Structure 1
Amino acid sequence: MLPDVQALPDRRGVSLDEVGIEGLRYPLLIADGQGAKRETVATIDMSVSLDAEVKGAHLSRFVEVLHTWRDEVASDSALRLVEDLRTRMGSSSARVRLTFAYFLERQAPVTGARSFSEYQCALTASVSTANPVLTLQARVPVTSVCPCSKAISDRGAHNQRGYVTIEVHPVGPGELWFDDLIDVAEASASSPVYALLKRPDERHVTMAGYDNPVFVEDMTRHVALALRDDPRVNRFRVRVVNDESIHNHAAYARLEWTDSATGGDA
């Protein structure tokens, strides 16, 4: 029998909040909002709490648990994954964070040409003796036309690429998914960003954006109103950044909100 050093007792009387692995790159199948699964490669952090009398955690078990759940990652299964990890490690709490590229097929607005758009997303799940906590995050590229530039210019208006980052604590697993956050973010902007546009599409996007100018403040408020009125949302953060096209700086706005009826318990 090989010695199990991690299982040896520790006599220093110091418990640890988190012990685990981070930066692991691993292939996964992520559920999408259409009932299908999408292949991606995630960067993964996994941790558990460690009691004072235990010397170390068995790090190999983190990857074993992840491999078991690799083909069925969704909001409800993520909580079961973390509970499986907590139980196998004999810990009072566990946490997993998955960061990955999430691809959705989009149609160009006029020609209907299809292409995939990429969104950077993250799923964080934790369990303990308290309520389980689930967090969804999506970083969505958008286009915005400056209202001030449009108002003061004889011709045209400057526009720029921006990013809307939404982090949400849903009321319960399965209530909300990344597709919902992406839709809210894109609706807040002058225009979505597309991977493929033919000439009629480009014309449409340019004029539609010009007819819908927004500041970062406007986009942040649009997102806040949509999420605040969504009964599936417990609390959220939104941050909008524009990489300004005619300034040597970025512009941003940020907001946090918690449902006062629930106190933000996720």
Structure 2
Amino acid sequence: MKDVQSLTDERGIAIQKVGVSEVHLPFLIKRKSGSFQSVLANIKLTVDLPKEYKGTHMSRFIEVLSDWSQKPVSYREMEAILNDLAGRLDARRASIDIAFKFFIEKTAPVSGMKSLLDYDCLFAGNLEMGNHLDFVLGLTVPFTSLCPCSKEISAYGAHNQRGIMRVKVRFQPGRFVWIEDLAALMEAQASAPVFSLLKREDEKHLTELAYENPKFVEDVLRDLVLALRALDGVAWFEVECENYESIHNHSAYAAHIETIGK
């Protein structure tokens, strides 16, 4: 049959990224413990397309993803996926975004009750043939913050809020951090962490912990920046913090981007 996608295009426009998005497949993500977690991944997979080609072969993207969907995935596997795809399509560059929910078991601070908390994660990889994979880990972590101003001016109590930290971090070649360790580092910068399951003694503990550790959204962000600077092997990071205000009909927001050594 005639291969229309391989016909010559006369418009002279190369396309930086072409492929498939919103592909939902089960994937296996490596845990720090050495085991793996089965996740439902939302995937975008692309390659570059030279100006002389009319289109790419979309079916080959799904073929590659299907081959890898039941193999544990981390940095090295992502590099292999993109090399596989680029080889099949004779591409110079390939990229993949794998977004998924990752679950971490947490222990309540007083009762010791265990529960799972879900975190939004992203593995983003870009590969140019002949180079190492450019890998970025993205993680979203919920937290509690308590307003220092409210605590200072109130006769009793202080308003608090649930917030979200969003981090994207790029490491030097050969370096990485486990999702579990990055989540713990991020939670440590909050007034208090968030749990799925708490008993009354846990609620008391966390309420008092937040009260003794008040932080503006700016404080959370700055402390997180310092923690990421101290993380071994980090080359670049982007941070966002957003507090869903409890006494305002808007959110408090702060962001920072930094390249280490510059």
Compute the TM-score of the two structures, normalised by the length of structure 1.
0.93
The SS at the match of 1:149 is: helix
Q: Distance in 1 between matches of 2:177 and 2:86?
A: 24
Alignment of 1:1-266 (within 5 A): 2-70=1-69, 71-129=71-129, 130-173=131-174, 175-260=176-261
Q: Distance in 2 between matches of 1:103 and 1:37?
A: 11
Q: Distance in 2 between matches of 1:158 and 1:121?
A: 29
Contact 1:136 1:177 in 2 (8 A): no
Q: Give the CA deviation at 1:9.
A: 3.1
Q: Distance in 2 between matches of 1:179 and 1:234?
A: 19
Q: Give the CA deviation at 1:153.
A: 1.1
Q: 5+ residue gaps in structure 1?
A: none
Q: Distance in 1 between matches of 2:163 and 2:246?
A: 10
Q: Percent identity?
A: 41
Contact 2:132 2:173 in 1 (8 A): no
The SS at the match of 1:192 is: coil
Give the aligned residue type for 2:227.
A
Q: Distance in 2 between matches of 1:114 and 1:100?
A: 22
Q: Distance in 1 between matches of 2:35 and 2:157?
A: 42
Contact 2:17 2:49 in 1 (8 A): yes
Give runs of ≥4 in structure 1 deviating > 4 Å.
none
Q: Give the CA deviation at 1:209.
A: 1.2
Number of equivalent positions: 260
Q: Give the CA deviation at 1:75.
A: 2.0
Contact 1:166 1:181 in 2 (8 A): no
The SS at the match of 2:213 is: coil
